[in-house]
Structure 1
Amino acid sequence: MQTKKIVNDGARAVEEMLQGVLAAHPRHIRAVEGSPRSIVSLNGPRPGKVGLVIGGGSGHEPTFLGFVGKGLADACAVGNVFASPPPDPIVECAKAVDGGAGILFAYGNYAGDVMNFDMAAEMLAMEDIEVRTVLSTDDVASAPPGEREKRRGVAGNFFVFKAGGAAADRMLPLDECERILRKANDQTYTVGVALAPCSLPQTRRPNFEIGPDEMEIGMGIHGEPGVERGPLRTADEIVDDIIDKIFAEMAPSRGDRVAVLVNSLGSTPLMELYIMNRRVAARLADRGVETHATWVGNYCTSLEMAGASITLHRLDGELQSMLDHPCDCAMFRAG
């Protein structure tokens, strides 16, 4: 059975979305002339500044293009739904924001993205533009602790990009921006739960199957398998399972500070997210962990997938300063 979507032509959904985004946010972003999949901040790039270029597949909005703006990402390369952008728009993003201080690529750890961003970096090196790459690997469920480099990047991108964008906006050199990005990624932990599938605009058919009374812990944002599937549980039980998995690896100590993200995968409403956040706050308080800041809502979605993810971002003075640094983006503002 086909799902219902408000689209004209599934094959043109990304192009028409971008036209709508640009019409809505003309004070924040523009498309590179001749490269409509290269979205650039109007106010971020400047001479002497490291250029932060992010990107990935569409369907996760506001990740990625919603985080383009002053104080966060300088540009975003846009791929098809759940697909990596090809090298050319990545290259055009980098050229558009090159301030002579080097370029940082930051994106989730997926094979297609790695291949195309690496190819873009090689193309830019031939034009004497230095590129460094940091992959986000926050998805606890996707690989064991000893193989963190194999993990997927999911909603924790939010905190990783935020730290890197702040470092670049403060005009720190490339080495320091890269270090802070890596540090932020190392202190970010996410686990998600899926209740129902999504469907691509081209096919309008569910991209995976799950029973009406089932849930899956650890499922990826493209429908990749999680770590366990079973009967649907209460909100508190789901949160406890997720927090237990994060705590087992993060091992927070009494007095630690964290930032929290309770993220909808698309169709899960704020009511349910805040019910989850109630339990997250209680678990952190019981552990003696201070919550410095909390975001609840749609930050890294999977089209209309039902479900949510919880991310904890452990802070020290430096990372807290980066988190609190002001930013003004198309779909996100802080400070």
Structure 2
Amino acid sequence: MKKLINDPADVVSQALLGMEVAHGDRLRVDHEHKVVFRKDAPRSGKVGLVSGGGSGHEPMHGGYVGLGMLDAACCGEVFTSPVPDQMLAATTGVDGGAGVLHIVKNYTGDVMNFEMAAELAADGDVQVRSVVVDDDVAVQDSLYTAGRRGVGTTVLLEKLVGAAAESGRSLDEVTELATRINGVGRSMGLALTSCTVPAAGKPTFELGDDEMELGIGIHGEPGRKRVPMTSAAEAAQLLVDPILTDLPYGTGDSVIAMVNGMGGTPLIELYIMYGEVQRLLEKAGITVARCLVGNYITSLEMAGCSVTLVKADDELVGLWDAPVNTPGLRWGV
């Protein structure tokens, strides 16, 4: 294992120290609970947005804390859910009197622990709502989930809902919007290599030089099937076709599209993939209103990529264009 770390047991805590000194103009860190807060949280009268999950998926979630996105993110150990105490600290720490929305990826530990934290917060008179993101079309159930996994739509949802909360929408309005976005978002990914969890010290799974895993999960969970290595054009089709048929998407639709790297794929390859995805969408009569290309929800150093589409209308495009200032996304400021 070759990694730029000190002690595997200290990876998350030391990364949070680095994050704090790098982005102290926008963030503050509760090191006891491993929670990244927006520096000005809580903001009176604003709905607080809290997300989180296991570390190793950076920039998600801590990198999306700031103006126009999250108010706090809970950081679990690598590929391990945060505990309810962390989530409770995040929830109470961002409550400005307008309530708090939990944005939860559909992994069993995350769902259970956020539910416990919401109950504890409610005992303290904090109004909490939750939306569970379950956008992965690859598999219905996995090693970590009951139902579909929560993957790339989480990033787009946090941006869109973050803009709505920033504009002063109520907890009911923000919750309804988050639920609607999850309903029109779909994702699928593939892996070219495994990744190595620092505490394990060895690859999570074995993948031959001439193979790729189609429909991989962000923790290295198995996908739909293992297939021979192929071209970018064919790989894009293997990802896009299941997404388009699942919602379904069709002629005349407009989407926000993301081609996301899993951590170990160079940007030059991601742009090749985006070109192929765009070509397939145009062929299907689908317009890309806005796009992202890069590493936004990763799996340590895994090579591979994922495609996410969110069906967009004028309202969502307007929310997408609203200012955002986080370590992971920034425009309009």
- Give the TM interval when normalised to the shorter protein: over 0.9
2:206 is aligned to 209
Map of 2:176 onto structure 1: 179
Q: Provide the residue aligned with 1:142 in structure 2.
A: 139
- Residue aligned with 1:322, SS: helix
Q: Is 1:243 the counterpart of 2:243 in the alignment?
A: no
Alignment match of 2:270 (pick from 270, 273, 278) = 273
% identity of equivalent residues:
44
**What residue number does 1:290 align with?**
287
Give the match's secondary structure for 2:34. strand
In structure 1, the residue matched to 2:28 is: 30
| Ranges in structure 2 where 5+ consecutive residues have no aligned partner | none
- Given candidates 3, 6, 9, the residue that maps to 1:5 is 3
Task: Say how many residue pairs are matched.
Answer: 329
1:17 counterpart (15, 28, 34): 15
Deviation of the 1:22 alpha carbon: 0.5
CA contact (8 A) 2:296 2:328 kept: no
Any residues of structure 2 matched to 1:47-126 within 5 Å, and which? 47-126=44-123
Match for residue 167 of structure 1? Answer: 164
| 2:201 partner SS | coil
Structure 1 residue 36, shift from structure 2 partner: 4.5
SS at match of 1:23: helix
1:133 correspondence with 2:151:
no
Counterparts of 2:41 and 2:316, CA distance in 1: 20
CA distance in 1, matches of 2:168, 2:127: 16
**One-letter amino acid of the structure 2 residue matched with residue 55 of structure 1:** G
Structure 1 alignment gaps of length 5 or more: none
CA distance in 2, matches of 1:330, 1:214: 34
Q: Is the 8 A contact 1:29 1:330 kept in 2?
A: no
- Moved segments of 4+, more than 2 Å: 250-255
Distance 1:128 1:44 in 2: 18
1:98-127, Cα deviation, whole Å (9 max, x unpaired): 011111000210001111111111111110
CA RMSD of aligned residues (A): 1.5
Partner of 1:305: 302
Classify 1:17/1:217 alpha carbon distance in 2 versus 1 (closer, same or farther; 3 Å): same
CA contact (8 A) 1:5 1:204 kept: no
* TM-score for both structures, normalised by structure 2: 0.96
Q: How many angstroms apart in 2 are the aligned matches of 1:156 and 1:224? A: 18
The question of 1:221 aligning with 2:213 is answered no
1:147-201 superposed Cα distances (whole Å, 9 cap, x missing partner): x981111122111111221111111111100000011111111100011100011
Superposed displacement of residue 224, structure 1: 0.9
SS of residue matched to 1:152: coil
SS at match of 2:251: coil
Partner letter of residue 330 of structure 2?
Answer: R
8 Å contact from structure 1 (residues 160, 184) kept in 2: yes
> TM-score by structure 1 length?
0.95
Q: Is the 8 A contact 1:216 1:229 kept in 2?
A: yes
CA contact (8 A) 2:41 2:93 kept: no
Residues 8-44 of structure 1, C-alpha deviation per residue, up to 9 Å, x if partnerless? 0000000000000001000111013x63501110246
Q: Provide, for residues 41-87 of structure 1, a one-character-per-residue CA deviation record: whole Å limited to 9, x for no partner.
A: 02464111110001001000000100000110000111000011111
Q: What is the CA deviation profile of residues 182-221 of structure 1, one whole-angstrom value per residue up to 9, with x for unaligned ones? A: 1111111110001110001112200111112111110100
In structure 1, C-alpha distance between the alignment counterparts of 2:126 and 2:274, rounded to whole Å: 43
Q: Aligned with 2:138: secondary structure? A: helix
The 2-side partners of 1:251 and 1:87 are apart by 36
After alignment, is 62-71 or 152-161 more displaced? 152-161
Within 1, Cα distance between the matches of 2:318 and 2:131?
20
Separation of aligned partners in 2, 1:311 and 1:104: 23
Distance 1:174 1:58 in 2: 27
One-letter amino acid of the structure 1 residue matched with residue 16 of structure 2:
L
Higher mean alpha-carbon deviation, 40-49 vs 188-197, is at: 40-49
Structure 2 distance, partners of 1:300, 1:197, is: 15
